[in-house]
Structure 1
Amino acid sequence: MLKYSFACLLLLLAFTSCREEPNYPDEPQISFKRIEKFSHEPSGVKTDTLTFVIGYQDGDGNLGLRPYDSRQEATDPDSQAPFNFGSPYYNNFFLKFYEEIEQPDGSKEFVPFRGGFELQQRFPRISSDEREEPLEGEIRFKFAFTELEVNPGTVMRFEAYIYDRTTPVPHKSNVVISEPVTLLE
């Protein structure tokens, strides 16, 4: 019995060591996964906390930025151009908000929320080293809507995209659109 267990272990090791690395493009590719909604009433104010989840694939693994530190700007590449404060690439995650509005003819259309509200943030480095390697996983961002900001029953949709750390011009991912979500039901 022991010699068969050893043979099975060797066979298992042989199969797992032959796994081929995925071949993703160097430009990040993202996909909408889901929106997780948590409804609650802190201090008596109706609130929906949404977690926006996107999947990602990146061939060279250069996703994410360390937090900006002006004291480290001279030595930290994540604080230098093109990722320095005030640069269009300072943030690497962009989420645009759209609200469903009924038109005079009765049809419904998504229009930019409050004239084009957009959440811009940095997400942290996904890989802790500088090796070029394919990466795949999920990025999650949380934000909240209260009844002080939107009317109950408002239907929202979101567009998202990310940038990688390629220099001198970071690669932009594709744009993904979420499924609609009804707030404060």
Structure 2
Amino acid sequence: MSKYNRNNFLALGLIIGSLFFMGCPTPPEFPNTPAISFRDVSFEKRPIEAQPNVTEDVITITLGFEDGDGDLGLASSDIEQPYNQFFVPIDIEGFPIFIGDSDTLPPFNPLDYLVFPEDDTVIVGNARLSGDTIYIERNPRFYNIFIDMYYKPTNDSEFIKFDWEGPPYYQSFNGRFPILNTEDYERPLNGELSYELKSSGFSSVFRDSEVKIETYILDRAGNKSNVIQSDPIKLEVPE
């Protein structure tokens, strides 16, 4: 059984939207560690395709990027190590950690636990799991674009990080963009990426506060780009 298939579609449905790529046909030489810059950030309310009378909040960021060997992007088939979605900790007796085994475990949430249906039996370590819930550790290499959001509670306050991954939201906006180099990885690559963050609650959470998006990317080798922040925006629809 693929653990990725069991959980990935729900996770990606929440965290990843559309991504667009515009490349340069003959880029110059760049370092092999990717470098990014902010080109644009915008907000809109967009009708949901399946519910045209209902809108969702969409923040779109556009990044410029450069990478010396072009090893940017992950394919949908990249689900084995080092790109697996999560790890299953096993105790000294060969069993996974079940929910409730320790007071130090986080409360149940879709980011830190894996639920097995009762109509299926799966072997994990020395355990036969059916209808069980086990603790997992997320693998950051599963993603290649990482998102944090900062906001100003009041006009005269500093920007502070908003914790989407904590209660009550338990949601991550990290995601994947596809392989960008269509020939091979051993060539320089530059261009632009546009990445959409979608939610039904951005407007209600941040209201009239200023918001900034912080982001970085990883290449296939795990090299981390520089960390950048967007200009502040307010989540208002332009007139």
* TM-score, with structure 1 as normaliser: 0.71
* Greater relative CO (CA pairs within 8 A, separation 6+): 2
Task: Tell me whether 1:65 sits opposite 2:74 in the alignment.
Answer: yes
Deviation at 1:54, TM superposition (A): 0.6
Distance 1:115 1:61, change over 3 A: closer
Task: Tell me whether 1:175 sits opposite 2:181 in the alignment.
Answer: no
Distance 1:152 1:44, change over 3 A: farther
Deviation at 1:131, TM superposition (A): 3.9
Task: Tell me whether 1:162 sits opposite 2:217 in the alignment.
Answer: yes
> Structure 1 CA distance, aligned partners of 2:55 and 2:152?
20
Q: Pick the structure with more helix per residue.
A: 1
Aligned to 1:35: 41
Aligned to 1:107: 156
Distance 1:107 1:62, change over 3 A: same
CA RMSD of aligned residues (A): 2.7
Aligned to 2:198: 144
> Structure 1 CA distance, aligned partners of 2:84 and 2:164?
27
> Structure 2 CA distance, aligned partners of 1:90 and 1:25?
23
Q: Which amino acid aligns with 2:40?
A: R
Gaps of 5+ in 2: 1-25, 87-138, 166-170
Distance 1:54 1:181, change over 3 A: same
Query: Retained in 2: the 8 A contact 1:97–1:158?
Result: yes
2:63 corresponds, among 50, 54, 60, to 54
Which residues of 2 match residues 78-157 of structure 1 at below 5 A?
Answer: 78-86=78-86, 87-102=139-154, 107-114=156-163, 118-146=172-200, 149-157=204-212
2:28 corresponds, among 19, 22, 25, to 22
Deviation at 1:96, TM superposition (A): 0.5
Aligned to 2:135: none
Query: Retained in 2: the 8 A contact 1:45–1:146?
Result: no
Query: Retained in 1: the 8 A contact 2:27–2:189?
Result: no
Deviation at 1:80, TM superposition (A): 2.7
Query: Retained in 2: the 8 A contact 1:161–1:175?
Result: yes
SS at match of 1:120: coil
Deviation at 1:85, TM superposition (A): 2.0
Structure whose CA Rg is larger: 1
Percent identity over the alignment is: 32
Q: Deviations over 1:45-78 (max 9, x none)?
A: 675422111110000000000014xxxxxxxxx3
SS at match of 2:146: strand
Deviation at 1:37, TM superposition (A): 2.3
Query: Retained in 1: the 8 A contact 2:72–2:179?
Result: yes
Distance 1:23 1:142, change over 3 A: same
